[in-house]
Amino acid sequence: MPTPPLSHPERALTIAGLWLVLCCSAAAAVDDGCPVSGSWVLDGVEGTHSSRDVLDHIEGARIILLGESHDRPEDHRWQLHTLAALHSRYPDLRIGFEMFQRGHQDDLNRWVEGKLTEAELLENTNWFENWGFPSELYAPMLHFARMHQRPAHALNVDRKLVSRVGEDGWDALPSGLREEIGEPAAIPDAYRERLEEVVKDHPVPDGIDDATYLERFLRAQNFWDRVMAKALAEAAESGGPVVGLVGRGHMEYGHGIPHQLADLGITEVAALLPHRSGEPCLDESPPIADALFGVSDGPSDMAMQPMRLGIEIETGDKGLKIIAIRDESVAEHAGLRPGDVITGAAGREIRRRSDLLALLDRQRPGNAVLLNVRRNGKTRDLLATFPPE
């Protein structure tokens, strides 16, 4: 039996697209540790490989992380295909979802049992507020879990807790929660350096200096990694292996989740990533992952963001009151004005922010939606048209 690859504690975070690594030919791709589109490369093994080779390479891993860029469709297609391959080898696998907060575990259980519709799952888990990326990117994996009756585990945590730790430190958490999660392992220097690069692209809030904001960001990220590692470790105690669907920034170079898992005593971790031209390959030391799969970065992989009207709203007794409208937005072109109250859309009543977000989640570039608006005591219909891609 091949020795399972272990996560490397010294790996560090990177952001896809910021690297200038170019694979110019199939031969160069193999030599540089970059996969040819449609094939795998493995850490420490020459050439390109099949999915079966990958399964052999990671044999013995208790936790298998499938990284993603949340808004890239090809990442999610790759996750589904890889999940199916893993299920063929491990019919008892479990699936962890970063997209759901741990407080919604019962809803995930009910989904797998067939007791919730997709719309009910999204509403019950407050998908549009807590996650926000188009649900169609994740629906195939959710249906896979239900179709094959595989346990689905919520990995994430309430953002308010993440913010609390970021602002006030670990001791700001209730003692029971601190004991349950366990204090996070310290951030390795290399991971810290990568996160510092990420923070440079974040706007710093008013009234706080750069150094303080950086430390808050690092504490929050480390706590976030720890919570997801703890959830994966708990899932692994019930069987597995556990396949974690997580953002790639939480797992690249063995930092983030793998680093926290090692602190929890789990080192049998495999990290798999999709790869596009220009992204880091496996010729680095340490490597970015245990295996990379080449995906297309063409038109089918355009970043997919949720549709937005471009308004700020507050909830009223009879609809959503518009507080402000962004310039050149869909709302401005539709003729909406501050003070308007949206009462319906596409034949549906709109009473809550989640009602509107759920409607927008179903829209695609080029769609048009009829909005029912109350203005100065009168009702009118306005057509909101989303620009094509």
**Signed CA dihedral, 233, 237, 238, 239: sign only:** positive
Q: Structural domain tally of the chain?
A: 2
Torsion of the alpha carbons at 51, 55, 58 and 63, rounded to the nearest 10:
100
Residue 208, pLDDT score: 87
Residue 16, pLDDT score: 31
Does a structural domain hold residue 20?
Answer: no
Confidence of residue 210 (pLDDT cuts 50, 70, 90): confident
Q: Are residues 291 and 357 in the same domain?
A: no
Residue 26, pLDDT score: 34
Q: Are residues 325 and 277 in the same domain?
A: no
Does a structural domain hold residue 288?
Answer: yes
Give the position of tokens 């974040």: 202
Q: Is pLDDT of 263 > 70?
A: yes
Name which of 60-74, 249-263, 350-364 the model is least confident about: 350-364
Which of 138, 78, 76 is CA-nearest to residue 108? 138
Q: Are residues 252 and 173 in the same domain?
A: yes
CATH number at 343 reads 2.30.42.10
Residue 25, pLDDT score: 32
Q: Which residues are within 8 A (CB) of 165 and not within 5 positions of it... i.e. 6 or more apart?
A: 172, 173, 219, 220, 223
Does a structural domain hold residue 195?
Answer: yes
Confidence of residue 389 (pLDDT cuts 50, 70, 90): low
Q: Is pLDDT of 1 > 50?
A: no
Instruction: Identify whether the C-beta of residue 129 lies closer than 8 Å to the C-beta of residue 123.
Output: no
Q: Are residues 66 and 176 in the same domain?
A: yes
Q: Are residues 237 and 186 in the same domain?
A: yes
Name which of 7-16, 40-49, 169-178 the model is least confident about: 7-16
Q: Are residues 280 and 355 in the same domain?
A: no
What are the pLDDT digits (tens) for 348-380? 899 888 889 888 988 888 889 999 999 998 999
Instruction: Report the mean per-residue pLDDT for the chain.
Output: 89
Measured distance CA(204)–CA(210) in Å, rounded: 7
Residue 14, pLDDT score: 32
Among 250, 272, 301, the domain boundary falls at 301
Give the position of tokens 């019919």: 91
Does a structural domain hold residue 18?
Answer: no
Q: Is pLDDT of 17 > 60?
A: no
Q: Are residues 285 and 339 in the same domain?
A: no
Q: Are residues 67 and 49 in the same domain?
A: yes
Does a structural domain hold residue 270?
Answer: yes
Confidence of residue 301 (pLDDT cuts 50, 70, 90): confident
Does a structural domain hold residue 253?
Answer: yes
Rank 186-200, 222-236, 272-286 by mean pLDDT and report only the highest.
222-236
Does a structural domain hold residue 11?
Answer: no
Does a structural domain hold residue 3?
Answer: no
Confidence of residue 98 (pLDDT cuts 50, 70, 90): very high
Residue 131, pLDDT score: 94
CATH number at 284 reads 3.40.50.11550
Confidence of residue 30 (pLDDT cuts 50, 70, 90): low
Residue 18, pLDDT score: 30
Q: Are residues 180 and 130 in the same domain?
A: yes
Instruction: Tell how strand 341-345 and strand 348-349 pair up.
Output: antiparallel
Q: Are residues 238 and 356 in the same domain?
A: no
What are the pLDDT digits (tens) for 122-166? 999 999 989 989 999 999 999 999 999 999 999 999 989 999 999
Of 329 and 316, the structure prediction assigns the larger pLDDT to 329
Which of 367, 368, 303, 371 is CA-nearest to residue 341? 371
Q: Are residues 180 and 316 in the same domain?
A: no
Confidence of residue 253 (pLDDT cuts 50, 70, 90): very high
Q: Is pLDDT of 229 > 60?
A: yes
Percent of the chain with pLDDT over 70: 92
Which of 213, 131, 211, 230 is CA-nearest to residue 173? 230
Confidence of residue 33 (pLDDT cuts 50, 70, 90): confident
Which of 229, 301, 260 is CA-nearest to residue 17? 301
Among 270, 301, 332, the domain boundary falls at 301
| Domain residue limits at 235 | 26-301
pTM, two decimals, is 0.85
Q: Are residues 81 and 219 in the same domain?
A: yes
Among 301, 328, 351, the domain boundary falls at 301
Tell me the average pLDDT across 257-276: 98
Q: Is pLDDT of 28 > 60?
A: no
Q: Is pLDDT of 206 > 90?
A: no
